[in-house]
Structure 1
Amino acid sequence: PVSLAGSYGIAPPTTRGGGVTAAESRMRFDGDSIVEAAATSSPSVDSASRSASSLRNETVRTAGSFVALNTVETFKKCDKNGALNGACLPPLLRALGARDAGETEEEDPTPHLAPFFCLAHLDLKRHSYLYWFAFPALLPRTGRAVRYVPGKSGGGNGQTLLREAWDGGRRRELRRAFRRMRAEALERGSSCPGFFLAATKDGGVGGDEEVRCLSLSRKNYEGLSETDRGKCVFAFLDPTVTSASRGSPSLPVGWTMRNLVAYLTFQLGLGGKDVQILSYRPGLIRRLPSPGSVEEAKRPRPSDDDDKAADARDSSLMLHVRLPLAEDYDWSTTAGGAAPPSDEKVPMSPPAYRCTGWELNARRKPGPRSVDLSHLLSPARLATQATDLNLRLMKWRLLPALDLDRLSTMRVLLLGAGTLGCGVARTLQGWGVRRMTFVDNGRVSYSNPARQSLFTLEDCEGGGKYKAVAAADALQKIAGDDVEAEGVVLTIPMPGHPLSGEKEVSAALKDVERLHELMEASDAIFLLTDTRESRWLPTVMSRSMNKTLINAALGLDGWLVMRHGVNTDNRLGGY
């Protein structure tokens, strides 16, 4: 697995149709994700030495891992849950304190309490990517998850709007305390805390209860007095977009609450107790200035004191829940879900924990997603888009009647792959024709590359490649897979050139049959051979098929272009 760093936060509201709506929040990755992951995972890197001014301090930084598989078959057959547990369970258990309750806790457990995992297959040639994200959470046994406690503080379903649970002065103190906590984190070189303690005590300004926000840790929790612990609210920054209103049914809360619940059970030893959890949804978090003056950053902005605007944005929920016990997360118990009686002496097996958290795909079902970036990254596709843009401009300014769609689907047959064939093919390509077939029986000689633009000296080596095949290959290299180019090697029978022997007659009949098939399948034919005799048979055949045929010839001091065919009333000229 490759370590990565990501971030999430409260997406700023968007304005549409004169109204303001909440925007959906997403996990963010950028070019610094790998560098940040290296700094986060290496204990030798001092986090305070990182430039705090470059942090997106309005977002929560988190850690995860990425696994790339070689083939689609490997991706399909891979044990997804096994990969998820193998990559994410050890660091998650360490952050939760589930392995050893006495182990030293990290200063900021946020990166490991809101982790992510990505399993992917990357087709770098086609710029097509298959991926499946997971946001792991410790999974309790069936029926042992966290439960809402109804009837608390007026919340019949265990949920209460914060503006109903707390008065305006207390909510204002919370906003100020949250900003001060962010400023202190910024001073340490950290981003916005994703989890925190909201501790209250009497004696605040104006008779309000003073609210303090402390980053989530066992040290900060145990540093509170027993009275403050009883009034402590455990909070998490919730990026969920919902419309909360009085009397509404239970609303969904963010995925990060799942690991917060496990943290409270294992790290703080609160399993089985009733606690208050704040789903903090301020609606807008502004980036703090550079920590050159931390005191300035700690001072509330004037807009933060606008209680009406802040309350209009805020949709925070106060949740009253009963935490599961530590053994409720242990899947090594008996099949019935009950532990053996305490008086029975049975060998103790180590606890077995599991992760869950695979995201849903676009159809709202568990499964991977895919993205095709060829239109952004493939040189061939970019070249095609540039050519199409030029053609649309020409159509707009000079030729309004030009049917570009017809040209792009037209199948063209080029009889001859010499000087005329190479030049006509490049010209047709410039006009958006993408389906061409070359017919020629000659080979590339050393005199050809100087006059015939689709050939190089490499095509002359070893007796020379067949012109039709070499021209088709060159056209494909120039335009990429978007062009369908084929080279056919055959000899066109000519008047005045008798055939000797049954073998030559049989070969000529096969060539005529193949030529007939090619002309029948084509929408337009270009007659570009270098002798008059070789033009007679294709002219007769195109007339009998009523096909459009363009005759072109070059002389020492002149040239000729003639069109005939596709005329039922007046016969057009032939060669």
Structure 2
Amino acid sequence: NGTLYNANTIEEFNNYDKKSILRNVGLETIYNKIVNQEWLKNPNELTHFLLLTFADLKQHAFHYWFAFPSLSLSDMEIKYEKSELLNEEIQLKLQNELLTFKSNHSKEEHGFYLIIENENSYQIKSLSEFENVINGNEKYYLGFSDPSALNEYPSMILRNYLLASYLTFKKDLFNVIAFRQDQSLLLKNVKITTSIENIENIQELKDKISVIGWEKNTKNKLGPRFTNMGSTMDPIKLAESSVTLNLQLMKWRMFPTLNLDKLGKTKCLLIGSGTLGCHVARNLMAWGIFNITFVDRTRVSFSNPVRQPLYEYEDCLNGGKDKASCAAEHLRRIYPNVNVQSHSLDIPMPGHFITDRQKTLESYKKLHDLIEEHDVIYLLTDTRESRWLPSLIGIRKKKIIINAALGFESYLVMRYGVYGDNSNDNNNNDSTNENNDEFKEMTSKRLGCYFCNDVVAPVNSTKDRTLDQQCTVTRPGVSAIAGSLAVELLVSLTHHPEYKYASAYNPTSQNNDGHVESDLGVVPHQIRGSISNYQTNLLYGSSYNQCTCCSPIVLQNYAKDDFNFLERCFNDSKYLEELTGLKQLHEQTLKLLQDFDYSSEEE
């Protein structure tokens, strides 16, 4: 039995008069039961508890403080001659007698007993039979069920039991048996002493009763306890503990070196929130990567929801929602604790003439800052030229860049190489200048970028094209395959000992000297596949020293002139070809072809 005080506010809980409440409960419940001798019929009243609570239902947090009122007369002392554990023979006899007693008496009488010893046999009686037992000639013990975990010391329950026996039986010396699950404890010659001489009128002793019993908290100080039940009651907390269950099982059963902490801290920037962006985001979350930022400038259209799994019909109404913010909103619905951000941003592109220099500069700075803040950059846009500036900034910042592109029935997933290695990696990625030949020295060692296979500069691919020519037309299953592979490539790279500097698996090399597999297998440079023949090929390609994006001359000019260099690239579609020598290469090739034609005619 117990008394519960439940506060409606934390202030009410803190302002309770704890001392007064404890005394009132101790006197009104335990002491009054002793006075009118009701405790003999229901001795469990001696264990009456007090509980103060406050429940913060919004936060699923609970403040509580238990007290187990322990009564004592002024200057009362309890001493005993010695304590010892009962031997197995006596323990077995008492246990058998206890089972017999419990089967013949109501539950109210359980827990406290009178035990009679007669010629090495024992009999357990109810406390209500105390007059016959105590006034008889047989040896008796006070018995009680003791929850104490200390071998030599009984629990505080004994204090109330002895006080009640002292005041009711008018005796001050007892032998006590504390029943325990293993070995019971015998306390011999327990003596109660007090300066109060007359205990005949129990009612008059009420003012001389003191009550203690507040429980200590986890800091071993008198004070309330606190528990947060959010993990078992708050659905968001439940989701948080369950969302990575598959990964935890994977780590336990299949992949012991799975680095969930590293994945959880990885920040991914998704440039493009369309078909590829939706699939990449979902797969990132499945791998426990919850730091995701969307960048897009378009709105959700009616053709999107059936192909792009983060959008719904309602998102298309009234002109359509902003794609980036809508994708972020739907990720939060899937998992509320995802750390997702969104930015509507026009990415400046080569071949797209600048009409508002200030606006373009602001867009560039915003993109630059976003790339700098993230660890991984995903290029998932529709056009080739929209990937050029993020590629250039990401290469300069030594970020992991993963590019995914779609054809009608084919796909490409590739990672960019990163200049340098772990030994010279640092946070000061802007230290390169026009006098530093670091880029030139490392070009031959680095994996190529998306533009390394091009012999022309990126241009405005939407110019002079009809609407159907501007749209990406692809078989529906291709984007899901490419999006999944783009994330799997990142996870494999994350578990490689060289991380972003990892060499690539080269299928044309017989021994792949220098290539080290990650814990998940090979880490390729490019994955090209087609669902027309259901084949996947792993390709390898070094960077091209005349690349319009990652060649030393481009990176050096970008490091030197920053936005002024970019502005010229945006306004003049042929500038990058002139800078990298591609224009001269075209002229030389054309001249060779012309010479070849003349030679053929002469023959």
RMSD: 3.9
Task: Report the counterpart of residue 465 of structure 2 in structure 1.
Answer: none
Match of 1:213 among 124, 139, 150: 124
| TM superposition score normalised by structure 1 | 0.63
Distance 2:274 2:346 in 1: 14
Structure of greater Rg? 2
Give 1:414 shift. 0.8
Distance in 2, matches of 1:130 and 1:191, equals: 31
What amino acid sits opposite 1:488 in the alignment? H
Contact 1:435–1:485, Cα closer than 8 Å, also in 2: yes
- Structure 2: distance between partners of 1:109 and 1:567: 82
Structure 1 position 422, deviation (Å): 0.8
When residues 465 and 243 of structure 1 are mapped into structure 2, their CA distance, relative to the original with a 3 A threshold, is same
Question: Matches of 1:477 and 1:87 in 2, distance apart?
Answer: 49
Q: Distance in 1 between matches of 2:268 and 2:185?
A: 64
Distance across 1 between alignment mates of 2:172 and 2:97: 25
Residue among 30, 35, 41 paired with 1:92: 30
| Equivalent residue for 1:259, pick from 131, 156, 160 | 160
Cα separation, partners in 2 of 1:234 and 1:565, compared to 1, 3 Å: same
Q: Which amino acid aligns with 1:116?
A: F
| Structure 2 gap ranges (5+) | 421-441, 452-603
Q: Tell me the CA shift for residue 71 of structure 1.
A: 5.8
* Structure 1 residues 337-348: aligned runs within 5 Å: none
* TM score, norm. by length of structure 2: 0.60
Contact 1:472 1:486 in 2 (8 A): yes
Which consecutive unaligned segments of at least 5 residues does structure 1 have?
1-62, 149-156, 245-251, 285-312, 334-338, 340-349
- The structure with the greater share of residues assigned to helix is 2
Q: Does 1:193 align with 2:113?
A: no
Q: 1:383 aligns with which of 239, 242, 262?
A: 242
Higher mean C-alpha displacement, 173-182 vs 468-477: 173-182
Q: Higher mean Cα deviation, 406-415 or 108-117?
A: 108-117
> C-alpha displacement at 1:407, in angstroms?
1.8
Q: How far apart are 1:131 and its partner, in Å?
A: 3.5
Cα deviation 1:372-402 (Å, max 9, x = unaligned)? 5555664313422413235426853xxx775
- Residue 357 to residue 226, structure 1, CA distance change in 2 (3 Å): closer
Q: CA deviation at 1:106?
A: 6.0
Query: SS of 2:243's equivalent?
Result: helix
CA offset at residue 210 of structure 1? 6.4
> How many aligned positions are there?
421
Q: 1:145: which partner in 2?
A: 76
Counterparts of 2:209 and 2:322, CA distance in 1? 66
Give how far 1:542 is off.
1.1
1:490 alignment counterpart = 345
Question: Which one-letter code corresponds to 1:494 in the other structure?
Answer: M
The C-alpha deviation readout for 1:426-475, integer Å capped at 9, x for no partner, is: 11112222211112233333433222212233434555433222222322
* 1:537 counterpart = 2:389: yes
- Measure the CA separation in 2 of the matches of 1:465 and 1:83: 59
Matched-pair contact (CA < 8 Å) for 1:89–1:354? no
State how far apart, in whole Å, the 2-side matches of 1:422 and 1:564 are: 22
Q: CA shift at 1:316, angstroms?
A: 2.1
Give the AA of the match of 1:384. V
Output the amino acid matched with 1:195.
F
Given residue 239 of structure 2, which amino acid in structure 1 is its aligned partner? A
Name the CA distance, whole Å, in 2 between partners of 1:444 and 1:518.
23
Equivalent residue for 2:192?
A: 322
Q: Is the 8 A contact 1:391 1:431 kept in 2?
A: no
Aligned-partner residue type, residue 574 of structure 1: Y
2:449 is the counterpart of 1:573: yes
- Contact 1:542/1:565 (CA < 8 Å) preserved in 2? no
Query: Which residues in structure 2 correspond to 1:364-375 (within 5 Å)?
Result: 364-372=220-228
Contact preservation (8 Å) 1:261, 1:323: no
Q: Distance in 2 between matches of 1:192 and 1:77?
A: 37
Aligned-partner SS, 1:526:
strand
C-alpha separation in 1, matches of 2:239 and 2:295: 25
Q: Are 1:548 and 2:468 matched, yes or no?
A: no
Q: 1:367 to 1:173 in 2, by over 3 A?
A: same
Change beyond 3 A, Cα 1:385–1:460 = same
Q: Which string of whole-angstrom CA distances, capped at 9 and with x for unpartnered residues, describes residues 35-87 of structure 1?
A: xxxxxxxxxxxxxxxxxxxxxxxxxxxx2244555565655554444554566
